[in-house]
A and B are shown apart, each in its own frame.
Chain A
Amino acid sequence: MTETKKIRVLIAKPGLDGHDRGAKVVARALRDAGMEVIYTGLRQTPEMIVEAALQEDVDCIGLSILSNAHGALFPRIVELLTGEGRNDILLFAGGIFPDEDVPEIKRLGFRGVFGPGSDTRDIAAFIRTEIAARGPVRG
Chain B
Amino acid sequence: MTVAAELVARVEAGDRRALARLITWIEDDDPRAHAALAGLYPRTGRAHIVGVTGAPGTGKSTLVSALAAEERKRGRSVGIISIDPTSPFTGGALLGDRIRMMEHIADRGVFMRSMASRGSVGGLSVSTSDAVRALDAFGCDVVFVETVGAGQAEIDIVRTAHSVIVIEAPGLGDEIQAFKAGILEIADVFVVNKADREGADKTANALKVMLDVGNTMKQRRGDGPARVPAPSAAEAGHHGAREGNFPAEAYAPTTDATEWRPPILKTVAAERRGVIEVVDALDAHWRHLRESGAITQRERERVEDEVRQLLGRTLTRRCVEAGGLERYAALVDAVTARALDPRGAVEALIGAWVAQRKEAG
Contacts and interface: CB of A to CB of B under 8 A. Distances in A.
B99 to A, nearest CB: 4
Contacts of A30: 92
A52 B98 contact: yes
Contact of A51 (B92, B96, B105): B105
- Would you call the interface of chain A mostly helix, strand, loop, or mixed? mixed
B102 A41 contact: yes
Contacts of A8: 24
Interface stretch (A32-40, A65-73, A92-100, A103-111): A32-40
Given A1-B328, A36-B116, A57 B28 contact: no
Interface in A20-50: 27-28, 30-41, 44, 47-48
B92 A32 contact: yes
A110 B105 CA distance: 24
Given A6-B118, A56-B113, A138 B92 contact: no
B17 interface: yes
Given A54-B20, A57-B21, A36 B105 contact: no
B29 A3 contact: yes
B138 to A, nearest CB: 11
B157 to A, nearest CB: 18
Contact of A32 (B25, B29, B90, B325): B90
A129 interface: no
A138 to B, nearest CB: 6
B27 A40 contact: no
Q: Chain B interface mostly helix, strand, loop or mixed?
A: mixed
Contacts of B328: 1
A57 B87 contact: no
A3 B120 contact: yes
Interface string B76-103: 0000000000110011111110110010
Given A1-B328, A48-B102, A138-B24, A34 B91 contact: yes
Contact of A38 (B23, B30, B98, B106): B98
Contacts of A86: 17
A5 interface: yes
The CB with the most chain A CB atoms within 10 A, among B28, B95, B112, is that of B95
A54 B16 contact: yes
Nearest to B86: A36
A51 B109 CA distance: 13
Nearest to B328: A1
Interface string B310-332: 00000001001000010010000
A27 to B, nearest CB: 6
B245 interface: no
A112 B118 CA distance: 28
A39 B113 contact: no
Given A31-B90, A55-B112, A56-B113, A39 B106 contact: no
Contacts of B116: 6, 36
A1 B24 contact: no
B21 A138 contact: yes
Nearest to B21: A57
Nearest to B316: A1
14 contacts: A1-B317, A1-B320, A3-B120, A6-B116, A27-B94, A30-B92, A31-B93, A31-B94, A38-B95, A38-B98, A51-B105, A55-B16, A86-B17, A138-B25
Q: Closest 10 CB pairs between A and B?
A: A31-B92, A41-B99, A57-B20, A34-B91, A57-B24, A31-B94, A34-B92, A48-B105, A38-B95, A36-B93
Interface of B: 16-17, 20-21, 23-25, 27-30, 86-87, 90-96, 98-99, 102, 105-106, 111-114, 116, 118, 120, 317, 320, 325, 328
Given A6-B28, A40-B98, A55-B113, 15 more contacts: A5-B28, A30-B92, A34-B90, A34-B92, A36-B86, A37-B95, A39-B98, A40-B102, A41-B99, A41-B102, A51-B106, A56-B114, A57-B21, A57-B23, A85-B17
